Structure 1
Amino acid sequence: MLVQFWIAHRFIPSQTGKDIDVEGHEIFSELIWRSLLQNVTDMSAGITHYYSSDGIYHGHRRFCKMHDLIHDLAQFVTGDECSTLPGSNEFKKISKRIRHFTLNPDVGYDMGDRTPSVRTALPVGTNFIGLSKLKLVRVLKFHYEANVDELSTSIQYLLHLRYLNFSETYITELPESICMLVNLQTLNLNDCSQLAKLPMSIVYMNSLRHLYISRCPKLKIMPSGLSRLRCLKTLTKYIVSEKAGNKIGELKHWNLDGELGLYDLHEVKNADEAKEANMSSRQSIYSLSLSWGTSVENPEQVLEALKPHAALKLLSLHDYPGTQFSTWIRDEQQLQNLVRVQLEGCQRCEQLPPLEQLPYLEELTISRMDGIKHIINNTTGDAFSLFPELRFLNLKEMANLEGWYVEEDRETAPPLFPRLKNLIISQCPKLTNMPPQISTLEYLEIEESYRGTQIELLSKGKGFFKHLKSLERLLLTKCEELALLLEDKEETRPLSSSLHSLSINDCSRFSLSAALQNLTSLERLSMHHFEELVSWPDEMFRGLESIRSLIIWSCKNLTSASSQGDCGPLFLEDLCVSNCDALIELPKCPTSLKKLVVSNCLSIKSLCSDMGHLTALAHLELFECPKLESLPEGMQGLTSLKYLYIQDCPALKSFPQGLQQLLPTLKLLKINGCPKLERRCSPGGDYFRLVSSISEKSIKNSPRRTLIAPCL
């Protein structure tokens, strides 16, 4: 995106016969070579940022930063042309010479006439007024919470706009008037979960070079005539539709590079039609996603005709209806440059391609393939190891997966996964053992899998956790027998010094108390769906000095604090309590607490009776507690409090006197969906004078959205 920013501002000189995007990337590489940009992380070679915790791929990215001295020099040279505006007070002081600014999306800004020369504005939030007055703006990005359907009607007046980013917003459709943006080069709609269609007029935007529409699940059809966009270089999603005139052969009109997704391939009639896409010659495509919608005849021939160039790094197949993969997928030489492979919903395939021999494969996701019994079907050959570079493995909804390789090959097979760091296994009920000798694993997530008895798990795995000497994070969901192994001191001995984070979800027979005594290095604990938990488990935590973060989520029978009244872990710093519908009050928290989050607790009427001793508390967040009527007295003791966020607590009428004293010292105040508090903090209200000096504040009564607990 940085290169596209440069192009939008015409920072890159146009040379005859040379693609301006190529020129931009060469300049980027030059800055890295000269160390003006440093610590470059290429996400095509690193699994940490490819995936979220649910194993979903989130695109190819490169990250870098500028050296402090170079940053200071850049600030000196640009002077007052660039600014970061944390609050509305700073906005009132900005120079009329400002060209580029970064905004706080929660703060209200009224452009008025003070910013006539602005070229860059990001991210634009809901409280942004006067968007149409930014007549010269070239780069514009909207915040994910912005009311983009309303704001988007103003962008037709921004005739100089070249880069427009709606990614991760709730936009449902773009106005037809967007075609008036005749200079627009980049339109980013990635991850717009509500986007249902593109405007028909988009085919007339002749300057458009990059159209990003990945991960837009409601987008099922594309406008007719897209082939008119002859300048298009990036098209991340192309939906084949004979009815709309978007045949796969239309791809021949574009010299695409980067990421390409082809959807509804069941609309492709035969191999000859598929060959018109000319995929084998597209060397600049590094990521290819192929997706079918329904079963068709001879899908193998269509897949064979879509053979990509050997330079491909990322390959995804979704809902492929064939019984076997094409020859180019089974050819190790053809795919030797692959870094990531994703196979989903290929239900009729009974064998996986020989992915274990790929020399650079770092990430593998396999899901909804009921015909697969083993990951590896043939261990013959001269390989020193199988999956030699694999770092991330995600197996999901594999109903008949029994093992890693055919049982008779187990003793003679080369080492498996010698570099594996992250392993996610979800809904694989017939799998009974871990990969052997997997000592490099750092993150393990298992959900509804390993349903054998405790004896079976120990015998087949020869000690399930025995080799996990590097494991740092463990997440178990609905794995009764597997969770019980954590109570065994010998079984958990390898984890005692390495495991820092443990999340247990819906394992009713599991005794967490016994497990915690064995895990002496544990710093973060998440307890989900513990139905037997009625009162606060202070006895369970007594003596545990290592735990710093505690999450208690969806424990429906938890009603009150314990008789002792103490929260538990002695040195607890972060506490999140969420979706505990019966909870009435919190226990007394330790003085070490720095962050407290209470979310979706429908019965809670008050926090702990005394909070004045929490002198280290810096963050207090309250979400969707409809019966919370008041906050405790004595809050003047919260001398470190800097961030206060209250949302959807409509019964909360006022702040206690102690908290009122602290309001002017806050760095951030956000109040949303609390009408009584909102009135008191608005102009003319009791608290307006107290909150007016807070640089970052957002006080509104906007419609509620489904809220996910912020501590998860």
Structure 2
Amino acid sequence: MGGTVDLSYVAIETLPNEVGSLIHLRYLDLSKTKLVELPESVCNLRNLQTLKLTSCEKLRRLPEGLRKLVNLRHLELLYTDALECLPKGIEELRCLQTLSKFVMSEEGCQLRELSNLNNLSGYLRITNIRGGGSKESINLKSKEHIRTLGLGFVKEDYVGKRDDDGSAIELFEPHPNLEELAVWYYGGSKFPNWMEFQSSSIMLRRLRIVKCRNLEVLPSWAKLESLQSLVLQELDSMSPMGLFNGLEASSTTVAYPNLKVLVIWDMKHWEEWVMETSSEDINVMPLLRDLFILNCPVLKSVPHQILSQSVKILFIRDCPELIISWLPPLLEELTLDGDAGSLSRSLHFKNNTSLKVMWIQNLPHLTFPQGLSQLKALQTLKIVDCNSLTCIPHELQHLTSLRELVISGCPILGPRCEKDEGWIRLLICCAIKVGDGIGIISRIPNFEITVRQGYNEGQLHTKIHRPLYFVRTLLTLIALTSACHTYSKRCWCFDMRLLMELSYELEEINVFTEAGKPDRTW
């Protein structure tokens, strides 16, 4: 009868040799421990079927006799970055179905040992690639049950060109059933022919090309019908970048027909999109839903076909030269972080009636988005660390669907709130003029008000028509005792003398001491 030992998330640094006496053990989970190595006695567990070492960040080596575990089916090694090599003899584990990580090294297991592991399935990550035997000796193409393949080349000196990487990657042609491929630290200038994915039986859905800094040209992926997600990061030699290589101009041509997610990240020299054919003659990414463009300092524009009707999520970060003249009409989420080019200076909303979430952060020149009154569907608005924000427009009162409003880290706006007695603070540093605007937030169910000493309670009375989940005052609660009445659910109290005047509907009271620390919660 088999047994199970689960020591995951236990802060053990060593495993006692006595574990080898548990000869009927079938399942051993050591995930998220602080183990540096495993004792050789583990290799006595001849009935062991599952060995989990996921997220053992300090693990450097596995026992040399690992090949004795002939019944082992699952060896999980994800997130073990310190692992230097696999012991020789892995090929003898013929029952192995899960080998999430294969570390190439001259001292340990050789690449050719993968050839006999025909039952591998799921995720396979091959790291420290330097080269290896013939294609036949690896036999990766015959492993039809592998769904995700990661190919990581040596990191050292990966900035310089390495022509041998081109011959090495030829060895790793996968089975057409592969659904996800990731390649990182590749030092060649181009990819092998198999990465064209020309076969009609190709099932590849997700493709990630990361930190291949010498790559000069991309394969022709535009016709790949199965591709749904494409991530390109730190391809420093790409300028310009051709995502549409090999396309022929035709009214029936569709580029990336099923692509839903496109992420372009840290492309230092990428200035423009290149389309060898007339962009007006082809249908470009008709199903694109999520578009992320991050840290592309010289990118000037995005083809209007890509900002199509289908785009619902747009995220732009640190693209100071980027000019976007219009936003997708069906856009639901917009995030601008850092200098987002023309969008950093002004936002003009036209027919963007579907926008639900807008997050603006670290924009140096933004005053305030124009045309807010048209955003009838907007539910969340967050504006954080925008140095040029000076005022809150009255257009906010037209945001009838707004449920969450956060404005913080705006240094010009903050002092203005403090000087004007008719202003209160919403959330951390969000200001609305009480006399004109407290009714604006009457529909927002989750917000916090901080009232300073000396406010006229009459300004707040009957203005608030929804439950206030957080109502606090820095000095006293005098200004809010009448305004809160039956609407407050939770209150922070700084003056014990005011407890008797609070609403009987309160569900929680936090009383603070003079030092500003919570004393007790009722």
**TM-score bracket for this pair, using the shorter chain length:** 0.7 to 0.9
Q: How does 1:170-185 map to 2 (within 5 A)?
A: 171=34, 173=36, 176=39, 183-185=47-49
**Is contact 1:591-1:614 (8 Å) kept?**
no
Q: How does 1:303-702 map to 2 (within 5 A)?
A: 303-333=169-199, 336-372=202-238, 373-374=240-241, 375-380=243-248, 384-406=253-275, 409-437=277-305, 438-449=308-319, 451-452=321-322, 457=323, 463-465=325-327, 468-484=328-344, 486-488=346-348, 492-495=349-352, 497-512=353-368, 514=370, 516-531=372-387, 541=396, 544-552=399-407, 563=421, 564-567=423-426, 569-575=441-447, 592=466, 634=499, 639=506, 652=517, 654-655=519-520, 659-660=521-522
The 3 A distance-change label for structure 1 pair 584 and 210 is farther
Q: How does 1:61-460 map to 2 (within 5 A)?
A: 138=4, 140=6, 142=8, 146-149=9-12, 162-163=26-27, 169=32, 171=34, 173=36, 176=39, 183-190=47-54, 192=55, 194-200=57-63, 203=66, 205-223=69-87, 225-243=89-107, 245-255=108-118, 256-266=120-130, 268=131, 270-272=132-134, 275-293=136-154, 294=156, 295=158, 296-333=162-199, 336-372=202-238, 373-374=240-241, 375-380=243-248, 384-406=253-275, 409-437=277-305, 438-449=308-319, 451-452=321-322, 457=323
Which residue identity does 1:390 align to in structure 2? L
Shift of 1:557: 8.0
Query: Unpaired runs of 5+ in structure 1?
Result: 1-9, 11-135, 578-582, 599-603, 623-627, 645-649, 661-712
The 3 A distance-change label for structure 1 pair 304 and 150 is closer
Which residue identity does 2:178 align to in structure 1? L
**Is contact 2:319-2:341 (8 Å) kept?**
no
Query: Unpaired runs of 5+ in structure 2?
Result: 427-431, 433-440
Shift of 1:263: 0.5
Q: Sequence identity of aligned pairs in percent?
A: 22
Matched residues in 1 for 2:77 and 2:371: separation?
46
The 3 A distance-change label for structure 1 pair 584 and 219 is farther
Which residue identity does 2:360 align to in structure 1? I
Task: Name the SS of the counterpart of 1:338 in structure 2.
Answer: coil
Matched residues in 2 for 1:551 and 1:174: separation?
48
Matched residues in 1 for 2:395 and 2:497: separation?
27
**Is contact 2:377-2:401 (8 Å) kept?**
yes
Matched residues in 2 for 1:178 and 1:547: separation?
59
Matched residues in 2 for 1:283 and 1:403: separation?
38
Matched residues in 2 for 1:337 and 1:278: separation?
19
Which residue identity does 2:210 align to in structure 1? E
Shift of 1:329: 1.0
Shift of 1:522: 1.4
Matched residues in 1 for 2:388 and 2:343: separation?
16
The 3 A distance-change label for structure 1 pair 292 and 557 is farther
Shift of 1:427: 1.3
Task: Name the SS of the counterpart of 1:445 in structure 2.
Answer: strand
Alignment root-mean-square deviation, CA: 4.5
Q: Which is further off, 508-517 or 320-329?
A: 508-517
Q: State how many pairs are aligned.
A: 475
Q: Which is further off, 518-527 or 153-162?
A: 153-162
Q: Which is further off, 520-529 or 560-569?
A: 560-569
Task: Name the SS of the counterpart of 2:519 in structure 1.
Answer: coil
What is the TM-score when the length of structure 2 is the normalising length?
A: 0.75
Shift of 1:415: 0.8
**Is contact 2:122-2:147 (8 Å) kept?**
yes
Per-residue deviation, residues 651-702 of structure 1 (Å, max 9, x unmatched): 83521xxx32xxxxxxxxxxxxxxxxxxxxxxxxxxxxxxxxxxxxxxxxxx
**Is contact 2:189-2:217 (8 Å) kept?**
no
Task: Name the SS of the counterpart of 2:360 in structure 1.
Answer: strand
Which residue identity does 2:519 align to in structure 1? S
The 3 A distance-change label for structure 1 pair 350 and 334 is farther
Matched residues in 2 for 1:422 and 1:265: separation?
32
Task: Name the SS of the counterpart of 1:351 in structure 2.
Answer: coil
**Is contact 1:593-1:617 (8 Å) kept?**
yes
The 3 A distance-change label for structure 1 pair 229 and 499 is same
Matched residues in 1 for 2:184 and 2:393: separation?
48
Which residue identity does 1:519 align to in structure 2? L
Matched residues in 2 for 1:413 and 1:155: separation?
71
Matched residues in 2 for 1:629 and 1:223: separation?
64
Matched residues in 1 for 2:365 and 2:100: separation?
47
**Is contact 1:258-1:284 (8 Å) kept?**
yes
Task: Name the SS of the counterpart of 2:321 in structure 1.
Answer: coil
What is the TM-score when the length of structure 1 is the normalising length?
A: 0.57
Matched residues in 1 for 2:286 and 2:447: separation?
37
**Is contact 1:486-1:515 (8 Å) kept?**
no
Task: Name the SS of the counterpart of 1:502 in structure 2.
Answer: strand
**Is contact 1:379-1:413 (8 Å) kept?**
no
**Is contact 1:474-1:503 (8 Å) kept?**
yes
Shift of 1:280: 1.6
Matched residues in 1 for 2:81 and 2:172: separation?
23
The 3 A distance-change label for structure 1 pair 482 and 224 is farther
**Is contact 1:442-1:471 (8 Å) kept?**
yes
Task: Name the SS of the counterpart of 1:432 in structure 2.
Answer: coil
Shift of 1:504: 0.7
Per-residue deviation, residues 4-45 of structure 1 (Å, max 9, x unmatched): xxxxxx9xxxxxxxxxxxxxxxxxxxxxxxxxxxxxxxxxxx
Per-residue deviation, residues 517-547 of structure 1 (Å, max 9, x unmatched): 443321112223234569x969785564422
Which residue identity does 1:482 align to in structure 2? S
Which residue identity does 1:333 align to in structure 2? S
Shift of 1:275: 4.1
Matched residues in 1 for 2:310 and 2:380: separation?
21
Q: Which residue in the other structure is 2:429 paired with?
A: none
Which residue identity does 2:404 align to in structure 1? S
Task: Name the SS of the counterpart of 2:183 in structure 1.
Answer: strand
Shift of 1:290: 0.8
Shift of 1:550: 3.1
Matched residues in 2 for 1:217 and 1:337: separation?
29
